[in-house]
Structure 1
Amino acid sequence: MPPRPILGFAKAATQCSTEAAAYGKCIVADYTAVDKDKCAREFMRFKNCYMRAARKGT
C-alpha cells in the first residue's frame, strides 16, 4: 500500500501545537477583519516548525 501523505502532515503538525495555537489565537482575536499578513509572524513560526518536523519525519 502506498504511503499516505496526510499521515505525515498530521504527525508533523502535532509537534507544533504551541505554534499552531498561537496562530489560531491571532486569527480568532479579530476574525472579522482578517487581511493579508495579519498574523504573518505567527504563521511563519508555525510554518517553520512544521517544515522542521516534516523533514525529521522523512
Structure 2
Amino acid sequence: MPGRSRPIDKFAAAVGKCSKESAVYGKCILADYNNVHKDKCAAEFMKLKDCYLAAYKKR
C-alpha cells in the first residue's frame, strides 16, 4: 500500500530527531550505572520522551 507508513518507521524517524536528548539521558544513566534506581534520571527521561512524542506527531 503506497503512502502508508508502519508505526516502527515513524518511531525510527522520531528517534533520529532526538539525539541530543538521548545523549543527555544516556550520560545521566552512565554516570552511576551500578546504582540505577527508579526516577534516577526522571527529568532527563521526560525531556527525551517529550522529544519523541513531538517528533512522532509531526510525521
Fold shared, TM-score > 0.5 on shorter chain: yes
Between structure 1 and structure 2, the one with the greater Rg is 2
Corresponding residue for residue 9 of structure 2: 7
- RMSD of Structure 2 on Structure 1 (CA): 1.2
Letter of the structure 2 residue corresponding to residue 28 of structure 1: L
Corresponding residue for residue 19 of structure 1: 21
Confirm or deny that 1:51 pairs with 2:53. Answer: yes
Which TM-score applies when normalising by structure 2? 0.88
How many residues are treated as equivalent by the alignment?
57
* Structure 2 unaligned regions, length at least 5: none
Cα deviation for residue 4 of structure 1 reads 2.4
Query: What SS does the aligned partner of 1:35 have?
Result: coil
Corresponding residue for residue 28 of structure 1: 30
Which TM-score applies when normalising by structure 1? 0.89
* Structure 1 unaligned regions, length at least 5: none
Write out the 4+ residue segments of structure 1 that deviate beyond 6 Å after TM superposition: none
